[in-house]
Structure 1
């Protein structure tokens, strides 16, 4: 009895490579373009399989996986960079090397780059736009393959990045650039709406302690707070900020909160800070003034933040905040960068490369 073989669906059938002793019909694919032709799919689709397989449908992933098994094809991003006279280095530019948010982000980017065969080289702008432009120049001189950057914005560093992204892939994280480009970060409007709703549902509507204008997040988060308060039918109230334009957020939070507490009117109030580091300063100012912070009835003031800083759970009291997924931000940014390297597509991103991630409220004892 002869058993019949089940036929694969048409979508899973692939061109057959010649077996031993057979007349060679075509050489096995050695380039991404040749492999895409072998599979019968577009080159960008095939590139996405190697860099971000979750973005493809299951049937497409299965078809490409079968083609990899049949052909033995493996992409060589490093060889492609050599053809383009690029190194196997991925540049990372961050504004504050001691901030745990950027430390966690950098570590994840470095791990993913290493797995893909790249070295990650980290530079800091130290919150200075001139230094940011200098960092871009340094990476250009190194012929880096691509860049992940948490930008400051402004004409100097921002202009240098815009000029460079016509030659190599650049993906922005945390703070969006002024012009359309590949970006991965938290949806500030959605995350502040979540926190404002939580605070209004559990106590008094919050006042807002904003960030100094060090990057685009400062304005974005203030606007998000404003919109969330008006959506609830409340008038937004901003605490006055000291004259500062640096990354010493704890000092800014302390000075702004100390001045507000000294002016009176604290009892029963709620303060929402634009980030957790501001909230740490606010907590210290309240402690120094003898103001009890927390959500218990005996407390005088509630304080909340944003970002879920690694130390927020160890503050006194533990800080209510909005959690961002550092690993997902880094992972999505690197998936975009590696895909563009495979596609040789350095140009500014379209809408498909704008990734705004959700967030969640982490309710602790401070609010």
Structure 2
């Protein structure tokens, strides 16, 4: 029989969810009697004994988990925070949700506040370009922290997020296969490092297929992406700067602004013969299916990004707050075809 080294392996072979197993080891009475019996039967069957020292150490920690996102008014972060909170609660922890609202000063203040709560761990989606890297580095040295969404290289014990190349490669390949190659529509000063990775992926995939990349940069800073996209698209359309009838937006919120500008100028968007433009994007925004026309997009794997983030944090807590090496886990996007392209 293969020796089981940790709780994650035990959960996998026993067919019991990782959060439930963790909840049992922190307090056996916190799970249902039938579930407790299954876990105890599996312990005997697989001859697994947890690291009692690590479990006892972890019991001295608070049950608080901090979840920090850059902009809670963004439905993407609301959606992923919901998944994270539910996973933490299922494992017997008390999650607290914070938003830095796009401000470095507020992000730093949230980290200071979290220190005083003595959390068992923190799930942090940093601002990215606007973050104070030195403050985050100091925080991660003292508090078990997993980064998600925005990867600040080398910070946190691990990073869990989406594969930006997967997003763009799928949308570019679809659009070039079904029509004219797209221009890439983005902010001149992106708020999030994912945008830079998407632009690089766009250029690489376009060149690989023998097309000339065409990047359109619009002015605007901050997190009001819809309005920035609407104003930027209005200028692009008025000046007729598009080289083809296809546009790929860096993210869905910019695309919503782009669609608004098209409507205001009487430009019909879609994939039918009577349409002047095709528009696609990236993220899988929760409202993307309700735009007019509904938005074709490469969608985040919300379930796996959130689930793996929480699992990795529990592993970090159980290991005493340190990993021997910083791990990065990326999940591919899923192309969702709708009426806009």
**TM-score scaled by length of structure 1:** 0.79
Q: Structure 1: how far apart are the matches of 2:98 and 2:182?
A: 37
Whether 1:143 and 2:102 are equivalent positions in the alignment is no
Q: Structure 2: how far apart are the matches of 1:80 and 1:326?
A: 31
Question: 1:239/1:135 Cα in 2 relative to 1: closer, same or farther (>3 Å)?
Answer: same
Q: Structure 2: how far apart are the matches of 1:237 and 1:88?
A: 50
Could you tell me whether the CA contact under 8 Å between 2:147 and 2:160 is conserved in 1?
Answer: yes
Whether 1:303 and 2:303 are equivalent positions in the alignment is no
Q: Give, in angstroms, the shift of residue 164 of structure 1.
A: 2.1
2:330 to 346, 356, 365: 356
Cα deviations by residue, 1:1-59 (Å, 9 ceiling, x for unpaired): xxxxxxxxxx28xxxxxxxxxxxxxxxxxxxxxxxxxxx65xxx223246x63799xxx
The aligned residue for residue 228 of structure 1 is 205
Q: Structure 1: how far apart are the matches of 2:116 and 2:323?
A: 19
Q: Give, in angstroms, the shift of residue 297 of structure 1.
A: 1.4
Whether 1:125 and 2:100 are equivalent positions in the alignment is yes
Q: Structure 2: how far apart are the matches of 1:173 and 1:197?
A: 27
Q: Structure 1: how far apart are the matches of 2:294 and 2:285?
A: 11
Q: Give, in angstroms, the shift of residue 342 of structure 1.
A: 1.1
Could you tell me whether the CA contact under 8 Å between 2:80 and 2:306 is conserved in 1?
Answer: yes
Could you tell me whether the CA contact under 8 Å between 2:69 and 2:98 is conserved in 1?
Answer: yes
Cα deviations by residue, 1:94-146 (Å, 9 ceiling, x for unpaired): 01112111111111111111121110011111111221111111111111111
Gaps of 5+ in 2: 16-20, 22-37
2:83 to 100, 108, 111: 108
The aligned residue for residue 65 of structure 2 is 90
Q: Structure 1: how far apart are the matches of 2:172 and 2:46?
A: 55
Aligned residue for 2:141, secondary structure, equals coil
Equivalenced residues, count:
317
Matches within 5 A, 1:61-210: 66-68=42-44, 79-83=56-60, 86-154=61-129, 157-179=132-154, 181=156, 182-210=158-186
Answer with 149-158 or 128-137: which moved more: 149-158
Aligned residue for 2:176, secondary structure, equals helix
Question: 1:309/1:96 Cα in 2 relative to 1: closer, same or farther (>3 Å)?
Answer: same
Q: Give, in angstroms, the shift of residue 301 of structure 1.
A: 0.7
Question: 1:70/1:203 Cα in 2 relative to 1: closer, same or farther (>3 Å)?
Answer: closer
1:240 to 208, 217, 239: 217
Whether 1:48 and 2:22 are equivalent positions in the alignment is no
Gaps of 5+ in 1: 1-10, 13-39
Larger radius of gyration: 1
The aligned residue for residue 278 of structure 1 is 254
Q: Give, in angstroms, the shift of residue 276 of structure 1.
A: 0.6
Q: Structure 1: how far apart are the matches of 2:133 and 2:153?
A: 8
Whether 1:328 and 2:304 are equivalent positions in the alignment is yes
Aligned residue for 1:240, secondary structure, equals strand
Question: 1:156/1:175 Cα in 2 relative to 1: closer, same or farther (>3 Å)?
Answer: closer
Could you tell me whether the CA contact under 8 Å between 2:55 and 2:318 is conserved in 1?
Answer: no
Q: Structure 2: how far apart are the matches of 1:79 and 1:142?
A: 20
Q: Structure 2: how far apart are the matches of 1:207 and 1:72?
A: 55
RMSD over aligned Cα, in angstroms? 2.9
Could you tell me whether the CA contact under 8 Å between 2:164 and 2:197 is conserved in 1?
Answer: yes
Q: Structure 2: how far apart are the matches of 1:64 and 1:274?
A: 49
